[in-house]
Chain A
Amino acid sequence: MELINAFSVSLQAVWTDSGFYNFTAGNAIMILVGLVLLYLAIVKEFEPLLLGPIAFGCVLANFPNTGFMEEPGLMQAIHYGIANEIFPPLIFLGIGAMTDFGPLLARPSTLLLGAAAQIGVFIALVGAMLLGFNVQEAGAIGIIGGADGPTAIYLTIQMAPHLLGAIAVAAYSYMSLVPLIQPPVMKLLTTQKEREIVMEQLRPVTKFERLCFPIVSAILISLLLPPIASLLGMLMLGNIFRESGVMDRLSDTAQNSLCNIVTIFLATGTGLTMTAESFLVPQTLLIIFLGLVAFIAGTAGGVIFGKIMCRLSGWKINPLIGSAGVSAVPMAARVSQVVGMKAKPGNYLLMHAMGPNVAGVIGTAVAAGTMLAMLK
């Protein structure tokens, strides 16, 4: 009798401790969301390297009683790296090592396009505040329009950590949808004549300029905006690895193995924040909507400023490169190229669009820095 009793008690304990017993409808929905994202990543190839781990992280986060966030372990270590802004600057180290600032150095005026496209960030911020988000939340939502995943995560963690899952998913999803979102806006705002402008070849940039730029700009921006010193500092350090010519091994590690390792942690950790309690709220839908507004407004801002620069330069700048001012490197530049080629076959805008594209990365980081300085 005692044996049967002990059996039933322990079986009951196992059952009540199990995931099945504690499973909620919210968990089921979120696991389904994770699986849909996984499908989009693997089958539709929407930014698979990021969306894949985010999606599976989301599935993992919704198993009850795993104690991921309560007990020390891998999941908590990953979360620590995100919550303490360790991973985004490391990703920036890799991005710096991958980025060629040459087109920007050859035509510094394209920095303005990178600045103009940040209007999307602030239009979304205004929209978010009008929809009832507080100012910190609105800033974090707006940064989706910067089309820069690491910066978005960096800012969100400091301003509105409870929205991280929704913001990261919106940012990365829209980044993968850039080839669908941008072309209609670009075509709507430009005339055929503007799209056909062939731009002059960029001047060659010396090694001295390539090496001086990351050093001087890191000093300048870090002094101006200390809150983003770690982001910009790592970006420029990676670029020094690349351009110095004597740190090839470090450059190689930063842009390949290290970047891949950190991407795994950052993306999985982002997925792990997508628990049912934090993601299944009406705010998520609003954030996804505002993210789209931010992307469209950013693209429009860049293109409109491109039109102004086109007129001022005497029709030497093709406004299509303005849309590349939303970061999304190098996808947005490629979109400029494709739209330009459709208007006039043989018109290669890719290198010209890389200028505003990398300027957009700096612009988004600066926008994040000013918001941190002003709103945090």
Chain B
Amino acid sequence: MSQPVTTNPFIIMLINMTVVFLVLIALGLVIRLIHVFDPTAKKEEKPAQAPAPVQEAEPVPELPNSYDGVDPEIIAVIAAAVASMGGGSLKVRAVRPLEREGWKQSGRLGR
């Protein structure tokens, strides 16, 4: 075991915190560089822009899938969850938002 460079605790703190910050800042730069040079990112952006004219040509018909202001995606998720539990012949008749937060919270906090 060689002799430490310094034994002044405050200098050790200063040097080490600086190194920790510098290394993590360098990592942050690496992350940004990866993001900039990401060849796959552009490919994903293009199709996102492409469907725009298609939507104009063929307006999406007003599907009867929004009940009481519930997001159709939420309805799809709930229907999928019900179907996955084996209820082959079950139908989701209504999805209504409730004001009570208790179930939501316990669902989110519970493991």
| Chain A 82-136 interface residues, beta-carbon cutoff 8 Å to B | 104-105, 108-109, 111-112, 114-116, 118-119, 121-123, 125-126, 129-130, 135-136
Q: Is the CB of B40 within 8 A of A108?
A: no
Q: B residues within 8 Å of A by Cβ?
A: 1-2, 4-5, 7, 9-10, 12-13, 15-17, 19-21, 23-28, 30-32, 34-35, 38-41, 44, 101, 105, 108-109
Q: State whether A135 and B7 are in contact (beta carbons under 8 Å apart), knowing that A105-B31, A206-B41, A207-B40 are contacts in the complex.
A: yes
Q: What is the CB-to-nearest-CB distance from B65 to chain A, in angstroms, rounded to a whole number?
A: 24
Q: What is the CB-to-nearest-CB distance from A11 to chain B, in angstroms, rounded to a whole number?
A: 49
The 9 closest A-B pairs by CB, nearest first: A122-B13, A108-B28, A108-B31, A126-B9, A129-B9, A115-B24, A111-B24, A208-B40, A370-B19
Q: A-B pairs with CB below 8 Å: how many?
A: 116
Q: Could you give 10 example pairs across A and B, Cβ below 8 Å?
A: A121-B16, A122-B12, A136-B1, A208-B38, A209-B34, A217-B30, A370-B19, A374-B12, A375-B12, A376-B1
- CA of A338 to CA of B108 in the docked complex: distance in angstroms? 10
Q: A residues within 8 Å of B by Cβ?
A: 104-105, 108-109, 111-112, 114-116, 118-119, 121-123, 125-126, 129-130, 135-136, 138, 206-209, 212-213, 216-217, 220-221, 224-225, 338, 341, 345, 348, 359, 362-363, 366-367, 370-371, 374-376
Q: State whether A374 and B5 are in contact (beta carbons under 8 Å apart), knowing that A125-B13, A366-B20, A367-B16 are contacts in the complex.
A: yes
Q: Is the CB of B16 within 8 A of A111?
A: no
Chain B residue numbers with a CB within 8 Å of A376 are 1-2, 4
A104's nearest neighbour on chain B, judged by CB, is B31
User: Which residue in A123, A129, A220, A371 is a CB contact (below 8 Å) of B27?
Assistant: A220
Chain A residue numbers with a CB within 8 Å of B17 are 115, 118-119, 122
- CA of A108 to CA of B34 in the docked complex: distance in angstroms? 11
Chain A residue numbers with a CB within 8 Å of B34 are 105, 208-209, 212-213, 216
Chain A residue numbers with a CB within 8 Å of B109 are 338
- CA of A119 to CA of B25 in the docked complex: distance in angstroms? 16
Q: What is the CB-to-nearest-CB distance from A310 to chain B, in angstroms, rounded to a whole number?
A: 18
- CA of A114 to CA of B31 in the docked complex: distance in angstroms? 15
- CA of A125 to CA of B12 in the docked complex: distance in angstroms? 9
